[in-house]
Amino acid sequence: MSQNGNQTFTRLKRCRCRKKVGGTLMSVISLLGITKNFGETRVLKGIDLDIADGEFLTLVGASGCGKSTLLRIIAGLEDQTAGDVKIGGESVNNMRASRRNLAMVFQSYALYPHLTVQQNLLTPLLLRDLSSHQRLPLLGRLMPGRRSRMADLNRLVEETAAILKIEPLLGRKPGQLSGGQRQRVALGRAMVRKPTAFLMDEPLSNLDAALRVHMRSELSDLHRSLRTTFIYVTHDQSEALTMSNRMAVMIDGRIVQLGTPEQVYGDPQDIRVAEFVGSPKINIIPGRADAHGRVTAYGTPLHRRLRATNCDVSVCVRPEHLQIASSSENEGWPFLVTHKENLGSDFFLHGNINGSDHRIIGRFQPSAVAQIAPGDSINLRAIAGAPIVFGKDGLRMPLVAT
């Protein structure tokens, strides 16, 4: 980072530490029993969440689960039906959005098309730091203190542009920029305000696949350098897995699971979370726990023993946790390959197990499946300890300690 960038980072950090609401340092953002109704429809159903200062938290879920509505409530752009939003321990329910010191980055970038990049970055500072008289087009220039203040604001814009590497774009208008460049400008316009937290509503959804991957890295780097709270909304679980400190999986207006990406992916507590997080989707195979709690799926023992006995279960196995087994082994499922998908570094084998219509997907290294073609019959088995077992209610079933 350049010297100017370091100076801006220091200034941003100092400002964040000083910024107060009603005398309380703004740090932890807390949501207590947040509900939201639109008419007879309840969109949010009692959200409780604490977001730590400097954390990168992602709200992830399918369209319509309420994640964007929750973000707008935090920002003050939408009123909750019930519950409290607290910043630094102080309720901000009756505080205007402009006073919460939270910066919103939208999916559409929301840049002023008739202004240059520099003017777009400068606008929120003019509205915040200049009086109404100082903002007048002609007379404002004669107002005392305006010249020195404008010099400070322009210097902050230039230093913010240096951090985001958009200095060469300052004289251009949004229509002359690529999607990635517009995204950086939108971030810069939020950064110059020195917010307590950045609220981002699917900011990468308008970019092509390659640029999304690149911008994920840039956003992660920016978060580490600014050490400011990021609350990020997306329906793309790959964004949540790659960028977050923690991710909250939202389904039907509730947070179903909250944890690190590793916890949510490797230890899902609800079958809906297991299905949503991961690509390709996790395989779900019907199973059974016998009188001793030992689990089998299509007659194959899985070396899983439950506290519950004599019940039907759902056995979940991620595609990368399947292995090719020799036909002489007793453990495994007969698997008819119907499709072979080449992703370069990996191959996906699609097919049916045990002569049924039940389809599953396996993920393999190219060398492991080089001689396998659609129409072949092979044996698959789950890696020991990998299957996850859920009950009829969709919740994780506890295992007997071994």
For 268-293, what is each residue's pLDDT tens digit?
A: 999 999 999 999 999 999 999 999 99
Sorted by sequence, the CB contacts under 8 Å of residue 380 that are 6+ apart come out as 322, 323, 324, 325, 332, 333, 335, 353, 360, 362
Tokens 């542009």 correspond to 161
Phi, psi (deg, nearest 5) at residue 239: -65, -45
Range of lowest pLDDT (36-50, 120-134, 308-322, 348-362)? 120-134
For residue 72, count other CB atoms closer than 10 A to its CB: 19
**What pLDDT score does 18 carry?**
37
State the first-to-last Cα distance of the chain, in angstroms, to the nearest integer.
52
Contact 252, 65 (CB under 8 A): yes
Range of lowest pLDDT (136-140, 231-235, 270-274)? 136-140
Task: Determine the distance from the C-alpha atom of residue 162 to the mean position of all C-alpha atoms in its chain, rounded to a whole number.
Answer: 26
Kind plus residue range of the DSSP H or E element containing 374: none
Give per-residue pLDDT as tens, 126-136.
888 777 777 67
Contact 99, 194 (CB under 8 A): no
**What pLDDT score does 22 carry?**
40
For residue 400, count other CB atoms closer than 10 A to its CB: 12
The residue type at 326: S
The residue type at 376: D
Instruction: List the alpha helices (DSSP H) in 174-226.
Output: 179-191, 209-226
pLDDT of 165 above 60: yes
pLDDT of 6 above 70: no
Mean pLDDT confidence for 340-359: 93
Instruction: Look over the chain and give the mean of its residue pLDDT values, rounded to a whole number.
Output: 88
What is the share, in percent, of the chain residues with pLDDT greater than 70? 90
Mean pLDDT confidence for 154-163: 90
**Where does the pLDDT of residue 330 fall: very low under 50, low under 70, confident under 90, or very high at 90 and above?**
low
**What pLDDT score does 149 carry?**
83
**Where does the pLDDT of residue 184 fall: very low under 50, low under 70, confident under 90, or very high at 90 and above?**
confident
**What pLDDT score does 212 carry?**
87
pLDDT of 3 above 60: no
**What pLDDT score does 66 carry?**
95
Beta bridge partners of 45: 35
- Say how far apart CA 373 and CA 393 lie, in whole Å: 38
Mean pLDDT confidence for 109-125: 91
**What pLDDT score does 134 carry?**
72
Mean pLDDT confidence for 299-308: 92
Mean pLDDT confidence for 3-22: 42
**What pLDDT score does 142 carry?**
67
For residue 292, count other CB atoms closer than 10 A to its CB: 10
CA distances from 104 to 68, 72, 177, 241, 285 (A): 12, 9, 21, 22, 42
**What pLDDT score does 1 carry?**
43
